[in-house]
């Protein structure tokens, strides 16, 4: 029995074959298709579509063929693999496509070109047909084939080109175009395909399910948090979306579920091949960085804490914010309070040495250096032998202020900025809205935001209320991702309608987002009894929290409303 029948579907919704029936008309894909069709009907000549692996190029190609297959005045020809070894082989292939009855195996290049020209004039001028040559995997086209295509575009009347060419290629074809300026000049339409946004991702998944179902109602096979998890894991690439959704449906059947949840999709992501591609730095970049460090340090081994420091200095902050650093040694903390510009240059650094004996303690040193010079100063100012037993041998540098953005959230239907601000920060005032708008310059009118729009939420630190009274909170969940925290809240709001979100950041652990019961307890026993009576839906792991770490930076106050 086919797995999709278990889910009351007529056919497989997430097949990885380019079935034209599953062509989802996202804004960019449908726009690209319309522009290509218009260019072909106007007989403009050369069209090129470039996109990364899995962005939907082959599906567009098949859809284009499907459109013109119903038009008797258009004749389409498809080359799936253009990696020809000789010009004659390429010309022979085109010649046989255009005129299947002719015997051209023994002709040379000049004769083949002449035969193609005559066929194009015969069909295009005398027969009134539009001849279309579609080439998939265009990044494999050899240079001599590009020159032949350029020559074929010279066959034209006073009004139009006789051969219409559409090339679908991967990103590396851009370099080929840049190196072949005479070919680039002939391109009428150059379209770049990008990954889908969250709204298109969600709609594409539901569209495929609807296409596979006989039900008049949409089947909710994926929860909203699960859809967001699919988008985050796939980064909007259609092929990855389809593969992950397929794996999620299989997991649903195995686990006897009727809907894919956030946890189920995440478990599939962990098994997916592309999860390893989320690394912040490639192995090659790290290797080159280590090589450079080896040159600077004369080849001696640098502690891993120091390598972390150099990575921070070279890489900088993700949000291009000025960053302060703290150097930690075995014997004490040393602080580098810096607040320089976004540029990597001219960031002032003041280093305070660790405390030692009075007679041997080095004086406080002020270093006005760039990030690069600060790293070099640390590594090169000590000879290899002096590192052993040195109070600076275990130094590492870590940021002491949080990034500017704590996370991004896609707006859902009926969401407002004010509603999300109150949920995330625990309160609302106009100053918060102003900071959110500054972090989202694409939002022109805060009262007119669309469903599916991605909103960034900035870090807005708050001071915790001063209290010496011991209190106990019940933490329902904790995550390091704001989107996951909001997805959890949506899934469990019916169980815990008064839960509050407490968000914080620390240099050691990064961001933390916790959902707590609003009620607090003054003794541990009462809190533990409450835990025993709580519902236990998926994703809820209750634990007790008491006394918040004052060294963390908080963005919502768990004491709000309780301090007397």
CATH number of the domain that residue 207 is part of: 1.10.8
From residue 362, alpha-carbon distances to 281, 335, 337, 356, 359 in Å are 37, 15, 19, 8, 9
- Are 42 and 157 part of one and the same domain? yes
Please say if the pLDDT value at position 241 is more than 90: yes
Q: How many CB atoms lie within 10 A of CB 201?
A: 27
Angle formed by the axes of helices 143-152 and 87-98, nearest 10°: 40
387 and 300 in contact (C-beta within 8 Å)? yes
Domain-embedded: residue 187? yes
Please say if the pLDDT value at position 363 is more than 50: no
How much is the pLDDT for 99?
A: 83
- Are 268 and 287 part of one and the same domain? no
Element (H, E) at 516: strand 510-516
Reduced to 3 states (helix: H, G, I; strand: E, B; else coil), residue 130 is: strand
Q: Which of 183, 113, 109, 108 is nearest to 143 (CA)?
A: 183
CATH of the domain at 104: 3.40.50.300
63 and 54 in contact (C-beta within 8 Å)? no
Domain-embedded: residue 432? yes
Please say if the pLDDT value at position 151 is more than 60: yes
- Are 73 and 165 part of one and the same domain? yes
- Are 178 and 111 part of one and the same domain? yes
Reduced to 3 states (helix: H, G, I; strand: E, B; else coil), residue 197 is: coil
- Are 301 and 212 part of one and the same domain? no
What does the block give as tokens for 327?
């150097």
152-174 pLDDT, tens digit per residue, is 999 998 889 999 999 999 999 99
- Are 255 and 225 part of one and the same domain? yes
Please say if the pLDDT value at position 498 is more than 70: yes
Last residue of a domain, one of 249, 273, 297: 273
Domain-embedded: residue 19? no
How much is the pLDDT for 538?
A: 65
Domain-embedded: residue 448? yes
User: Could you tell me whether strands 163-169 and 500-506 are parallel, antiparallel, or unpaired per DSSP bridges?
Assistant: unpaired
412 or 289, greater pLDDT: 412
Catalogue the E-assigned strands of 341-430: 348-351, 365-368, 396-399, 405-410
Q: State which of 113-122, 217-226, 382-391 shows the largest mean pLDDT.
A: 113-122
Percentage of the chain beyond pLDDT 70 is 74
Mean pLDDT of the chain: 77
Please name the residue ranges forming H helices in 297-402: 304-315, 371-380, 384-387
Predicted TM-score (pTM) of this structure: 0.54
Domain-embedded: residue 304? yes
- Are 54 and 184 part of one and the same domain? yes
Domain-embedded: residue 6? no
Name the band, by pLDDT with cuts 50, 70 and 90, for residue 369. very low
Please name the residue ranges forming H helices in 1-86: 3-6, 27-41, 57-69
Please say if the pLDDT value at position 287 is more than 60: no
Please say if the pLDDT value at position 374 is more than 90: no
Angle formed by the axes of helices 304-315 and 371-380, nearest 10°: 160
- Are 39 and 185 part of one and the same domain? yes
Mean per-residue pLDDT for 86-114?
85
Domain-embedded: residue 482? yes
Rounded to whole angstroms, how far apart are CA atoms 107 and 104? 5
Name the band, by pLDDT with cuts 50, 70 and 90, for residue 305. very low
- Are 176 and 102 part of one and the same domain? yes
How many residues are listed for the chain in this entry?
564
Query: Hunting for tokens 């929860």 — which residue is that?
Result: 223
- Are 83 and 164 part of one and the same domain? yes
Structural Rg of the chain based on CA atoms: 31
- Are 188 and 337 part of one and the same domain? no
Rounded to whole angstroms, how far apart are CA atoms 419 and 412? 11
16 or 400, greater pLDDT: 16
How much is the pLDDT for 539?
A: 61
What does the block give as tokens for 557?
């106050």
**Ramachandran bin of 43, using left for φ above 0, alpha for ψ from -120 to 50, beta for the remaining angles:** left
- Are 71 and 116 part of one and the same domain? yes
Rounded to whole angstroms, how far apart are CA atoms 222 and 260? 5
How many domains does the chain divide into? 5
Rounded to whole angstroms, how far apart are CA atoms 277 and 280? 9
How much is the pLDDT for 532?
A: 84
Reduced to 3 states (helix: H, G, I; strand: E, B; else coil), residue 7 is: coil
Structural domain including 444 reads: 405-458
Please say if the pLDDT value at position 78 is more than 90: yes
Please say if the pLDDT value at position 49 is more than 90: yes
User: How far from chain centre, in Å, is Cα 208?
Assistant: 22
Give 409: exposed, middle or buried? Use CB within 10 Å, 0-12, 13-18, 19+: buried
Rounded to whole angstroms, how far apart are CA atoms 275 and 371? 32
489 and 515 in contact (C-beta within 8 Å)? yes
């Amino acid at each position: 029995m086919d797995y999709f029948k278990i889910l009351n579907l007529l056919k497989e919704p997430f097949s990885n074959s380019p079935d034209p029936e599953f062509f989802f008309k996202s804004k960019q894909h449908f726009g690209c298709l319309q522009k290509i069709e218009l260019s072909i009907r106007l007989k403009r000549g050369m069209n090129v579509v470039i996109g990364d692996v899995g962005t939907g190029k082959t599906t567009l190609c098949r859809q284009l063929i499907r459109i013109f297959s119903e038009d008797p005045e258009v004749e389409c020809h498809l080359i799936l693999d253009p990696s020809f070894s000789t010009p004659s082989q390429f010309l022979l292939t085109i010649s046989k496509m255009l005129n299947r009855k002719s015997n051209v195996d023994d002709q040379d290049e000049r004769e083949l070109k002449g035969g193609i020209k005559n066929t194009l004039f015969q069909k295009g001028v005398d027969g009134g047909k539009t001849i279309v040559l579609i080439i998939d995997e265009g990044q494999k086209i050899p240079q001599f084939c590009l020159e032949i295509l350029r020559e074929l575009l010279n066959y034209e009347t006073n009004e139009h080109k006789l051969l219409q060419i559409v090339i679908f290629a991967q990103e590396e074809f851009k370099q080929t175009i840049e190196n072949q300026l005479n070919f680039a000049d002939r391109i009428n339409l150059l379209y770049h395909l990008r990954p889908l946004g969250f709204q298109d991702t969600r709609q594409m998944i539901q569209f495929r399910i609807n296409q596979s179902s006989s039900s008049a109602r949409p089947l909710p096979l994926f929860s909203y948090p699960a859809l967001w998890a699919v988008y985050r894991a796939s980064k909007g690439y259609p092929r990855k979306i389809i593969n992950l959704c397929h794996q999620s449906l299989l997991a649903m059947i195995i686990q006897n579920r009727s809907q894919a949840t956030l946890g189920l999709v995440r478990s599939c992501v962990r098994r997916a091949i592309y999860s390893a591609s989320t690394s912040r730095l490639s192995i090659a970049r790290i290797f080159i960085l280590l090589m450079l460090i080896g040159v600077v340090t004369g080849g001696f081994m640098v502690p891993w804490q120091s390598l972390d420091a150099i990575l921070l200095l070279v890489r900088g902050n993700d949000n291009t914010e000025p960053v302060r650093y703290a150097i930690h040694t075995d014997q004490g903390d040393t602080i580098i309070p810096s607040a320089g510009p976004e540029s990597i240059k001219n960031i002032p650094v003041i280093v305070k040495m660790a405390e030692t004996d009075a007679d041997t303690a080095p004086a406080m040193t002020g270093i006005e250096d760039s990030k690069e010079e600060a790293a070099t100063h640390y590594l090169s100012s000590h000879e290899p032998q002096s590192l052993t037993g040195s109070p600076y041998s275990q130094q590492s540098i870590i940021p002491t202020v949080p990034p500017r953005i704590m996370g991004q959230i896609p707006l859902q239907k009926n969401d407002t900025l004010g509603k999300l601000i109150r949920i995330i920060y625990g309160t609302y005032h106009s100053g918060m809205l102003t900071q959110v708008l500054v972090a989202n310059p694409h939002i022109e009118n805060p009262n007119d935001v669309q469903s599916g729009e991605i909103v960034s939420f900035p870090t807005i630190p708050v001071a915790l209320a001063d209290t010496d009274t011991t209190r106990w909170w019940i933490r329902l969940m904790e995550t390091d991702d704001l989107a996951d925290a909001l997805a959890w809240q949506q899934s469990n709001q019916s169980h815990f309608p008064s839960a509050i979100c407490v968000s914080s950041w620390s240099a050691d652990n990064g961001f933390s987002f916790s959902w707590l019961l609003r009620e607090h307890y003054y003794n541990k026993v009462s809190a533990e009894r409450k835990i025993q009576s709580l519902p236990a839906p998926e994703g809820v792991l209750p634990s007790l929290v008491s006394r918040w770490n004052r060294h963390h930076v908080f963005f919502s106050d768990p004491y709000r409303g309780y301090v007397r």
